[in-house]
């Protein structure tokens, strides 16, 4: 349970008593700076955390103007803020909690003698990572910009791409101890108001002490927490999030992380890439088909090998079957045990490669996989076909990055089903998987759309992608505003739609 916060204490008119109230609220913080100022017309104290606020800006825009320009005619902190200090935006706070919540976020606070309220101004100065290429979504063609950990910068990157008054940013907070800033982004007139209300309701219903990454939000507001499939999408690319906003979706930005969530999510989104829409449709369609094939391989290939070799060897050509039997003859393990054992070995090597430093991790992943596989074959523990199948499965699993976790879990499930019942197990598992997919919702939208329910027009951007001039309509199951992206669906200039 979150720590119990003390009751709010409202400020009085004594500066020293107000400072004492703040010090009782926060305790003894070595990095809390309290700078007292005597200026013409009164006394004040500037409070901020060292390393989070721009000290040069505090001296230039607050302290110096108070010492030089302030006079006894100003009767309130508001008049001083407007007529004396060089601060672009400010707000007032009349109690210790509201005052210090802003200071914890990197703002600068000013208390005045004789006033029961303080001034809060945004002069943040902590270090942040520069805008660079996202590491999880590499593209050959397209924007090289990626979101960073600063939410204000991320909002600006979206605003720069969607220059419309309909783009709305709604600020929320979550986490009783972290008070993490969360932003709902949507386009008024395209996003369903019920969807916006539902996203707001789920976020405000969160009761937890800390929100340290958008993954916390994702796990606490998703529809089906026990499903292996993600029902909330995430991305580091501003252009990708902007495209989803233009379809009527809602984006959730969390301060401190470069991963932005978007809802609702459809199953087909996992096979789509931002680069698909920047290249010609023929290559994009072929690559998308390859992604579907790779996902099927990642889930079914080891299980198919077990089912065929253990239950249905008559399906394999005789020459190939003889070679496989000859390779497996000297191994003590059955095909099921061999596939299961080497799949576990691969997962251990992959996890080690991820957690180790990048140069060492890459070497461990490559060398470890090759050495362990070849030595296992030479030692007669597993056969060469098992190594080939598991290795190819491992490569195919990373083609559809959004479903890597689901593919890993499903691969082991289908291995056990094939090991137990052969093709009947694969058929049973496939039916249960399909039933699960068609029953999943994502913020009220069917997860398996446009296949179930069938939406004919949206099939143009599923397994293959039609030309852009054939994709003029927005998703009808998401958008509530204008359904059309372009005025007329006609071929490019000089083309002929016959």
User: What is the rounded CA–CA span in Å between residue 87 and residue 36?
Assistant: 19
Percent of the chain with pLDDT strictly greater than 90 = 32
Task: Answer whether the bond into residue 211 is a cis peptide, omega within 30°.
Answer: no
pLDDT value at 296 more than 90: yes
Rounded distance, CA 390 to CA 191, Å? 43
Q: In the predicted model, what is the mean pLDDT of the chain? A: 84
Cα 200 to chain center, whole Å?
A: 17
Check whether the bond before 450 is cis (ω within 30° of 0). Answer: yes
Together in a domain, 425 and 292: yes
Bridge partners (DSSP) of residue 32 are 49
* pTM score of the predicted model: 0.85
CA dist., res. 439 & res. 405, Å (int):
20
Please report whether residue 83 resides in a domain.
yes
For residues 228 and 155, membership in a common domain is answered with yes
List, for residues 397-419, the tens digit of each pLDDT value. Answer: 888 888 989 999 999 999 999 99
- Average pLDDT of span 311-319: 80
For range 326-336, the mean pLDDT: 76
Q: Region 71-82: what's the mean pLDDT?
A: 68
Residues 20 and 114 both lie in one domain: yes
pLDDT band of 52, cuts 50, 70, 90: confident
Residue 245: predicted pLDDT: 94
Nearest alpha-carbon partner for 263 in 190, 186, 201:
186
pLDDT score for 253: 95
What DSSP designation does 3 have?
P
Q: Is the dihedral of CA 175, 178, 181, 182 positive or negative?
A: negative
Q: Is 454 contained in some domain?
A: no
pLDDT of residue 332: 79
Mean pLDDT of all residues in 174-197: 90
For residue 278, tell me if it sits in a domain: no
386 located within any domain: yes
Task: Identify the pLDDT of residue 244.
Answer: 93
Query: Structure tokens of 299?
Result: 């889930």
Residues whose CB falls within 8 Å of the CB of residue 317, separated by 6 or more in sequence, listed in order: none
Q: Residue 489's pLDDT band (boundaries 50, 70, 90)? A: low
Whether the pLDDT of residue 278 is over 90: the answer is no
Range 349-352 contact pairs with CB under 8 angstroms and sequence separation of 24 or more: 350/394
| Structural domain ending residue among the three candidates 106, 121, 136 | 121
Domain-embedded: residue 169: yes
Instruction: Give per-residue pLDDT as tens, 199-219.
Output: 999 999 998 888 999 999 999
Q: How far does Cα 283 stand from its chain's mean position?
A: 27
- Which of 443, 442, 441, 473 is CA-nearest to residue 456? 473
Structural domain includes residue 143: no
Summarize the confidence of residues 416-432 as an average pLDDT.
93
Do 236 and 336 fall into the same domain? no
Q: Does some domain include residue 249? A: yes
Q: Are residues 258 and 295 in the same domain?
A: no
Rounded Cα–Cα distance for residues 416 and 300 (Å):
11
**pLDDT: which is higher, 41 or 270:** 270
Give me the residues paired with residue 262 across strands.
233, 251
Query: What's residue 361's pLDDT?
Result: 60
At 1 the pLDDT is 43
Rg of the chain (C-alpha set) = 29
Domain span at residue 222 reads 151-265
Instruction: Average the pLDDT over each of 192-196, 417-421, 455-459 and give the range with the smallest value.
Output: 455-459
Closest to 57 (Cα-Cα) out of 16, 106, 92: 106
* DSSP-assigned letters across all residues of 330-370: T-SS-HHHHHHHHHHHHHHHHHHHHHS-HHHHHHHHHHHHH
The pLDDT confidence band at residue 299, using thresholds 50, 70 and 90, is very high
Domain count, the chain: 3
CA distances from 379 to 327, 332, 342, 392, 456 (A): 12, 11, 14, 21, 55
Confidence of residue 5 (pLDDT cuts 50, 70, 90): low
12 Cβ neighbours under 8 A, 6+ residues apart: 18, 116
Picking from 136, 131, 159, 158, the residue whose alpha carbon sits closest to that of residue 146 is 131
Q: What sign does the CA torsion over 182, 188, 192, 193 have?
A: positive
In this model, does residue 498 exceed pLDDT 60? no
Domain match, 222 and 115 both = no
Judgement on whether residues 304 and 419 belong to the same structural domain of the protein: yes
């Amino acid at each position: 349970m979150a720590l119990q916060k003390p009751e709010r204490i409202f400020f009085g008119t004594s500066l020293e008593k107000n400072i004492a109230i703040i010090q009782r609220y926060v305790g003894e913080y070595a990095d809390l700076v309290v700078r007292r100022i005597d200026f013409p017309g009164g006394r004040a104290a500037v409070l901020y955390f060292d390393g989070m606020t721009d000290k040069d800006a505090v001296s230039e825009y607050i302290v110096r103007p108070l010492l030089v320009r302030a006079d006894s005619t100003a009767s309130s902190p508001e008049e001083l803020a407007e007529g004396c200090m060089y601060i672009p935006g400010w707000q007032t706070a009349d109690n210790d909690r509201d005052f210090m919540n802003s200071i914890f976020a990197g703002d600068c606070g000013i208390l005045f003698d004789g006033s029961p309220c303080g001034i809060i101004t945004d002069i943040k100065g902590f270090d942040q990572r520069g805008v660079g290429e996202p590491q999880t979504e590499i593209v050959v063609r397209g924007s090289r910009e990626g979101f960073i950990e600063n939410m204000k910068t991320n909002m600006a990157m979206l605003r720069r791409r969607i220059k419309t008054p309909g783009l709305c940013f709604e600020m929320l907070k979550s986490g009783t101890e972290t008070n993490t800033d969360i932003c709902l982004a949507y386009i008024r007139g395209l996003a369903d108001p019920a969807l916006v209300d539902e996203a707001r309701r789920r976020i405000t219903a969160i009761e937890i002490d800390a929100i340290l990454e958008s993954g916390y939000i994702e796990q606490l507001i998703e529809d089906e927490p026990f499903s292996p499939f993600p029902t909330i999408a995430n991305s580091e690319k501003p252009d990708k999030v902007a495209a989803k906003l233009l379809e009527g979706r809602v984006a959730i930005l969390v301060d401190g992380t470069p991963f932005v969530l978007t809802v609702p999510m459809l199953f087909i989104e996992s096979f789509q890439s931002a680069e698909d829409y920047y290249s010609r449709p023929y290559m994009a369609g072929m690559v998308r088909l390859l992604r579907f094939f790779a996902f099927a391989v990642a889930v079914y290939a080891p299980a198919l090998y077990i089912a065929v070799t253990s239950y249905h060897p008559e399906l394999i050509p005789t020459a190939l079957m003889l070679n496989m039997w000859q390779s497996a003859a000297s191994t003590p393990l059955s095909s099921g045990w061999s596939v299961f054992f080497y799949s576990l070995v691969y997962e251990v090597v992959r996890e080690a490669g991820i957690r180790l430093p990048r140069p060492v991790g890459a070497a461990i992943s490559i060398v470890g996989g090759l050495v362990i596989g070849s030595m296992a074959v030479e030692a007669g523990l597993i056969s060469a076909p098992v190594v080939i199948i598991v290795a190819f499965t491992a490569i195919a699993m990373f083609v559809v990055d959004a479903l890597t976790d689901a593919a890993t879990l499903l691969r082991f499930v289908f291995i056990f089903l094939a090991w137990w019942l052969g093709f009947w197990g694969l058929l049973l598992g496939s039916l249960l998987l399909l039933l699960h997919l068609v029953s999943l919702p994502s913020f009220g939208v069917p997860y398996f759309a446009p296949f179930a329910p069938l939406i004919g027009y949206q099939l143009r951007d599923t397994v293959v992608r039609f030309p852009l001039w054939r994709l003029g309509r927005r998703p009808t199951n998401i958008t509530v505003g204008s359904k059309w992206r372009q005025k007329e669906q006609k071929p490019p200039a000089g083309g002929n739609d016959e």
